[in-house]
Chain A
Amino acid sequence: MKKMIVLIMMIGLWSTPSLAAGTQYNLRVDGLSCPFCAYGIEKKLKRSKGVETVKIDLEKGMVVVQVKEGISFTKAHFKKLVDDAGFTLKSMTEAAP
């Protein structure tokens, strides 16, 4: 029985990537009115070392950035990248791993 519980716990740890993932940043970006233009944000954000994925929701003006474990960014960093892409960072929240 003990062995079974340990095995289930190990499988659980392996199969839960959120436990091993880094911070998720939720950026509210203004000015996102077309998908072709939004590509600039994806391009700029993915140039930052440690960024794993970038998801964009145009209707909600949301850019979700998933970074590697142990990597963190400041709001000022994202503000500059979003501005360089030609848009305006309205707010930022982060979900710790």
Chain B
Amino acid sequence: MRQYSQIIMGILLFFGSSVVFAHDPIFSPGPHVLFKEGIEVHVGVHREKAGSDKSDELGLELAYGLTGDWAAGIELPYLSAENGTNKANGTGDAHLFTKYRFWRNDSLGVQETAAVLLNVILANGDDKDNPPLGSGATDTLLGFAYGYESLKWYRWTSLRYRQNGENNAGLRRGDKWLLDFVVGIRPKPPVYLKADTVLILELNAEQGQRAEHNGTALAGSGGTQWFISPGVFWTLRNFAIKAGVQLPIVSNLRVGQAESDYRAKLELEWHL
């Protein structure tokens, strides 16, 4: 049973990240998309630590604006993971994602929007490695995001549901609900072509259901975690840097799982 707990925890650690666009929050999605025929190139580093489990992910993401309200893309992660005694490196599970902004209310200096998003996490990573670099199953994430953005204040909220698949060994990680509330403030009024800074604070909740092995629920899996996540994004014309750290404030995981110590992200992004 301990073996399954490690596998589940490892997979949760390495694949908890979600694809986000610039000027969306750092640890949760917002309703932002790209301009039509726009290209987004995104390079990000993501670190997670929970007890003796640690992972570093280097991700390359490419997105394309199909219309002014609809974008799609791919994220290719490279992982370095360790679980105290073992280490593994290699490509992780690729993400295919799309987001459609179905509602937009524009006024002077204010944009209020809502979008739906779909993320398919493929099973191309190595799930036999120790710790595993892939889940061995195809997962699907469906979400909704709302955002209010003004020249001074920002606020976002999002709700996502992640349905995890079953791998060849009969292991199915528990599905997951993710809920996020975010506020942001711009200390100085923005000027086009000048550097712009926004400070943000996120409250992220994750509720995982129990994992199953050949239909039997596993005791050491699932539970709830709440995080507080301060962050910053800095932009200059079509280039953005985003950084943030996610700190646990409430951890109610079922027995046998290591509680998260922290997660951190640094992302660079270009719009072309």
Contact = CB atoms under 8 A, between A and B. Distances in A.
Nearest to B151: A33
Nearest to B240: A36
B38 A34 contact: no
A28 B119 CA distance: 36
Interface string B186-200: 000111111010100
A56 interface: yes
B25 to A, nearest CB: 14
Nearest to A58: B190
Interface stretch (B108-116, B129-137, B156-164, B175-183): B108-116
A85 B109 contact: no
B35 A86 contact: yes
Nearest to A33: B149
A30 B112 CA distance: 11
B106 A85 contact: no
B263 to A, nearest CB: 24
25 contacts: A31-B110, A31-B111, A33-B150, A33-B151, A34-B198, A34-B235, A35-B191, A35-B196, A36-B240, A37-B23, A38-B192, A39-B271, A40-B34, A43-B238, A44-B35, A44-B36, A55-B192, A57-B192, A58-B189, A58-B192, A61-B108, A84-B35, A84-B68, A85-B35, A86-B35
Interface of B: 22-23, 32-38, 67-69, 101, 104, 106-111, 149-151, 189-194, 196, 198, 235, 237-238, 240, 271
